[in-house]
Structure 1
Amino acid sequence: MSLRHAILTLLATEPGSGYDIVQHFKQSLGYFWNAKHQQVYLELRRLSEEGWLDCQVEAQSDKPDRKVYTLTDSGMAELQRWLREPAAANKINDALLVKLYGGTLIEADNLRDELARHVDIHQQTLHSLREIEKLYLALDDAQKAQHRLPYLTLRRGILGEEAWLKWADEVAAEL
């Protein structure tokens, strides 16, 4: 997957500015796809140059003008082409797993501390995801139907965090 397709996916649901897209990454997509502020703005420019996005400038009196992006027909066609392609299986690069693998080379306290730090992070993430789930569950049936596929991505995140924390319990018992 590329950042461009994540941006196209967001803009297919609603027009937005670079700031709006960055906020989506922080609040929703960021749980499974990360992008830095500069990367988003650079990609928006590229997508516009390729004709996949239109940009309307909205004047603001107390701030710089706001650029609001929408998908063009060719942008939607590219997104649909990409959505039809098989997705590659996810591979992880996890420094904690490498440290655990080589853990006999350092003190056990170091591994326990590192694991505890990661447990805190995953517990916070799980809490955040469950708060988002509460918002979804409070929707009426029509709104739930409209958001059912994003909800399934949320469920994957919740189950993934729960599984990670269960695994961490096993590791802690061994350490």
Structure 2
Amino acid sequence: MVILALTFAAVVFMSLKHAILILLESQPGSGYDLVKRFNSGLGWFWNAKHQQVYQELKKLSEAGWLSFEEQAQDSRPDKKNYRLTPAGHAELQRWLADPVQPVRTNDALLVKLYGGNHTSLDNLREELQRHRQLHAKALDSLLEIERSYLALPAEQRGAWRLPYLTLRRGILGEQAWLAWAEEVQQALAE
């Protein structure tokens, strides 16, 4: 759903623990719920594997930042539904108030292009085309989320204004990447 995808797009530069705190501040849930939220929203900006989320939930609980209620399930182990404790909320507020450092890019495609004199132009063109397809697909997905957001009634859009701005950052980033790739493609054609 668009709202779920937009809700968590705002979290770009952080540690996994703070991403989890943001997710649980917005809505309590189980480890499984958090993995789904990562995949549907934060996955555009922050990646976490299933196992990492569960390990971090255990650490955050031990630190006193989360509490959980166990819910019995018939065919599976008991489900733990997590929520922030006052200490977890205080940590989240502390982190939100602290400045974050800009992320430096580690981009293997840029390294390949930089060292492109050591490979064939066809190899570089193929690699660039593969990346262009991935970025075009990501842009299409982000634009679909934007269309869904813009279709919401104005009174509902207001609640999602800040997450929408992070969506716009993603859209503009993909558009800029594709414009750059067009320049590279033209240069490789010469």
TM bucket normalised to smaller: over 0.9
Relative to the length of structure 1, the TM-score reads 0.96
| 1:71-99 CA-partner distances (Å, limit 9, x unpaired) | 11110100000000011011110000000
What RMSD, in angstroms, separates the aligned Cα atoms of the two structures?
A: 1.0
Name the structure 2 match of 1:161.
Answer: 174
Distance in 1, Cα, partners of 2:20 & 2:33 = 11
Distance in 1, Cα, partners of 2:29 & 2:90 = 19
**Residue identity (%):** 61
Structure 1 runs not aligned, ≥5 long: none
Q: Which amino acid aligns with 1:47?
A: L
Match of 1:61 among 55, 74, 84: 74
SS across alignment from 1:159: helix
Q: What does 1:14-93 correspond to in 2, within 5 Å?
A: 14-93=27-106
User: Alignment length, in residue pairs?
Assistant: 175
SS across alignment from 2:81: strand
Name the structure 1 match of 2:159.
Answer: 146
Q: Note the C-alpha offset of 1:48.
A: 0.5
Name the structure 2 match of 1:10.
Answer: 23
Q: Note the C-alpha offset of 1:68.
A: 1.1
Q: Note the C-alpha offset of 1:40.
A: 0.6
Relative to the length of structure 2, the TM-score reads 0.89
Structure 2 runs not aligned, ≥5 long: 1-13
SS across alignment from 1:70: strand
Q: Which has the higher contact order (CA 8 A, sep 6+)?
A: 2
Q: Which amino acid aligns with 2:171?
A: I
Q: Note the C-alpha offset of 1:121.
A: 0.6
Distance in 2, Cα, partners of 1:23 & 1:11 = 13
SS across alignment from 1:147: helix
